[in-house]
Amino acid sequence: MADSNPQRDFALDVVNRLRAAGHEALWAGGCVRDQLLGQPPKDYDVATSALPDEVRELFGRRRTLAIGAAFGVITVRGGVLTPIEVATFRTDGEYHDGRRPESVAFTTAEHDAQRRDFTINGLFFDPIAETVVDYVGGLADLEARVVRAIGDPGRRFAEDKLRMLRAVRFAATYDFALDDATLQAIRSMA
């Protein structure tokens, strides 16, 4: 999966530093999907077992931004490179505004994958071992060229209504089909 470039090298360094400190760390989401589709990622996200304060301590407060800390997300700056969001593995509490959870609880990579929007975005990649970690059937859906909500599509879209637009955008961008249950949920909620 691997042409070297400065942004990718920075993302690899973030994973290496987290692991050297004893934390689990993987690339997550769109960067994994894009690489598996043979496209260069626009950015890299890292998911980790490290808590937000541990991420800030490891990378230093001058190189980090805690804008998303309430959701377990710390931004690590890399000079002229695109910053990398480092998110603690989490589950989301109830959604009352149709956009963001009221609370989060820190958890494992497997549980974190279950809260994500679509199977093709619920993939992790271990850049050290160069292996995909798939708890949600995302590899099969990439192969089949299908956009499928993780779990109950109606619940996924009720949590965050923008996910309906994202589903259609992913289908159009990648020339994928929408899974029947995902499409039905979009139609019933539109």
Residue 161 lies in a domain: no
Residue 64 lies in a domain: yes
Residue 97 lies in a domain: yes
Residue 103: its pLDDT value, please? 79
Domain of residue 50, residue span: 6-136
User: How many Å apart are CA 53 and CA 97, to the nearest integer?
Assistant: 27
Residue 153 lies in a domain: no
Residue 112 lies in a domain: yes
Q: Is 120 exposed, middle or buried (0-12, 13-18, 19+ CB in 10 A)?
A: buried
Residue 70: its pLDDT value, please? 87
Helix, strand, coil shares, percent, the chain, to 5: 40, 25, 30
Residue 162 lies in a domain: no
Contact call for residues 148 and 141 (beta carbons, < 8 A): yes
Residue 78 lies in a domain: yes
pLDDT by residue (tens digit) across 83-107? 999 999 998 888 877 678 887 889 9
Residue 190: its pLDDT value, please? 82
Residue 155 lies in a domain: no
Residue 2: its pLDDT value, please? 54
pLDDT by residue (tens digit) across 107-128? 999 999 999 999 999 999 999 9
CATH code (residue 86): 3.30.460.10
